[in-house]
């Protein structure tokens, strides 16, 4: 079977300017994520993980370099084109605010299902109930995001990503500050997805995430190297 490259970034630079200070958050980062891979992105706080993920998802624009998602250019494209590419390929778990606050858990999942592109991901779209059951959220289907605990919020966020049928999950520390059972559930879900050929790129400090990763990358001061991490 041909190797499918879901994500390719070449020589990314991102500088922030605060007053007279220049923060060089990304200094020539290149990486690829292929179908079926679970890539853990490690590195100390402030090393540029969130900046890198934002640039890869087209939520931020690199100052240099290119990003291609599923063979299509993401960087330096009009906002509408980036949004369409994001919606058709990526399932994004940000560090917070992954759910629509005015929709219940079930409605958030329903909305993600309704946005699903034809033929996305793992074939026929599962219904709302099976997805909620798979993340242990059946009892909380009618709850609004504000009423959820941290673990429930994380479970709901992974349910939305599952509903989207995304070919590539990009997650920023999805298992930070959650209980061990929820972390296990999210990791099992990611492994299950990867067996079906979906990819994942996960910024993390968690040894449990590194343990399920098929590859570990290490970011330090905006420079990427192949892991394992020695200073996280
Ligand atoms: P990580 O996710 O690994 O903790 P970040 O990507 O959040 O790292 O940050 C990388 C560097 O860029 C840090 O020095 C951080 O302070 C800086 N930074 C991040 N976002 C901004 C911003 N919006 N404005 C200025 N500096 C920023
Ligand atoms: Mg971060």
Give, for 52, the enclosing helix (H) or strand (E). Answer: helix 49-56
pLDDT reported for residue 178: 86
The predicted structure's pLDDT at residue 206: 92
How many whole angstroms separate alpha carbon 181 and alpha carbon 135? 11
**Which residues, in sequence order, are CB contacts of 81 under 8 Å at separation 6+?**
none
Q: Whose CA is nearest to atom 16 of ligand 1?
A: 46
Best residue among 12, 14, 16, 17 to mutate for probing ligand 1's pocket (most ligand atoms within 8 Å of CB) is 16
Model pLDDT, residue 123: 44
| 35-179-140-93 Cα dihedral, nearest 10 degrees | -30
Residue 109 CA to ligand 2 centre (angstroms): 25
CA distance 198 to 35: 5
pLDDT at site 175:
83
Q: Ligand 1 pocket by C-beta < 6 Å: which residues?
A: 16, 18, 23, 25, 43, 45-51
Q: What is the pLDDT of residue 147?
A: 97
From CA 134, how far away is CA 78, in angstroms rounded?
37
Specify the residue with its C-alpha closest to ligand 1, atom 26: 16
CB atoms within 10 A of CB 202: 27
| Ranges in the chain, pLDDT < 70 | 1, 117-125, 227-232
pTM value? 0.92
């Amino acid at each position: 079977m041909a190797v499918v490259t879901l994500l390719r970034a070449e020589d990314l630079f991102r500088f922030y300017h605060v007053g007279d200070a220049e923060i060089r958050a990304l200094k020539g980062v290149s990486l690829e994520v292929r179908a079926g891979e679970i890539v853990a992105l490690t590195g100390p706080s402030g090393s540029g993980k969130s900046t890198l993920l934002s640039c890869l998802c087209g939520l931020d624009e690199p100052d240099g370099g290119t990003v291609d998602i599923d063979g299509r250019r993401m960087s330096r494209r009009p906002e509408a084109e980036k949004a369409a590419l994001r919606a058709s390929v990526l399932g994004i778990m940000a560090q917070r605010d992954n759910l629509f606050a005015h929709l219940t858990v079930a409605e958030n999942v329903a909305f993600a299902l309704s946005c699903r592109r034809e033929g996305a991901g793992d074939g026929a779209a599962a219904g709302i109930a099976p997805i909620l059951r798979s993340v242990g959220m059946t009892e909380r289907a009618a709850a609004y995001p504000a009423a959820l605990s941290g673990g429930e919020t994380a479970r709901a966020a992974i349910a939305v990503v599952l509903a989207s049928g995304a070919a590539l999950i990009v997650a920023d520390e999805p298992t930070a500050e959650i209980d061990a059972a929820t972390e296990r559930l999210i990791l099992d879900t990611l492994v299950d997805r990867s067996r079906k050929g979906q990819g994942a790129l996960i910024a993390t400090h968690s040894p449990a995430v590194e343990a399920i990763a098929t590859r570990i990358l290490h970011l330090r001061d905006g420079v990427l190297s192949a892991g394992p991490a020695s200073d996280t």
